């Protein structure tokens, strides 16, 4: 699991470095990702002002990592199935994070640094952490 997290984080960092100019030119970005199937992975990082990210995954062994820096960012992650994993890391003010998981053997984690942050993790099923 830690290897996947490191790989996904590295890929997110590389993708951000390649688009730094485009990200700075737009202050109101939105991202929506829907994945269905088996062993899908999604990683994203947002720097800036008013950004939102919504990720929906349906299947088994899905993996998502979201990192956000700045003010007024928001993330919603929905996962259905088993052995899914979600990580949300937010730095800044007025961020919000929601992780919803349905199934079993799922893992969800949210880390927030700053003021006025809101985080919620709801897990339905058994053997979830």
Per the structure, the count of domains in the chain is: 1
In angstroms, the CA 7 to CA 66 distance is 13
Q: Which domain holds residue 106?
A: 2-126
**Residue 30 to residue 108: CA distance in whole angstroms:** 22
Strands 63-70 and 85-91: parallel
List, run by run, the mean pLDDT of 10-residue segments along the chain (129 residues): 54 47 61 94 89 95 94 92 96 92 97 91 96
pLDDT of residue 4: 59
Q: Which pLDDT score, from 0 to 100, does residue 26 have?
A: 56
Per-residue pLDDT, 21: 46
Q: Tens of pLDDT along 57-94? A: 999 999 999 999 887 889 999 999 999 999 999 998 78
């Amino acid at each position: 699991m830690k290897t996947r997290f490191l790989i996904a984080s590295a890929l997110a960092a590389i993708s951000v470095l390649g688009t730094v100019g485009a990200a700075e030119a737009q202050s109101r970005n939105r991202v929506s990702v829907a994945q269905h199937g088996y062993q899908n992975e999604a990683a994203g990082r947002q720097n800036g002002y008013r950004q939102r990210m919504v990720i929906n995954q349906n299947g088994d062994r899905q993996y998502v990592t979201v990192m956000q820096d700045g003010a007024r960012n928001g993330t919603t992650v929905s996962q259905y199935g088993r052995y899914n994993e979600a990580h949300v890391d937010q730095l800044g003010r007025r961020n919000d994070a929601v992780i919803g998981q349905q199934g079993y053997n799922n893992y969800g984690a949210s880390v927030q640094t700053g003021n006025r942050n809101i985080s919620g993790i709801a897990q339905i099923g058994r053997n979830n952490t």
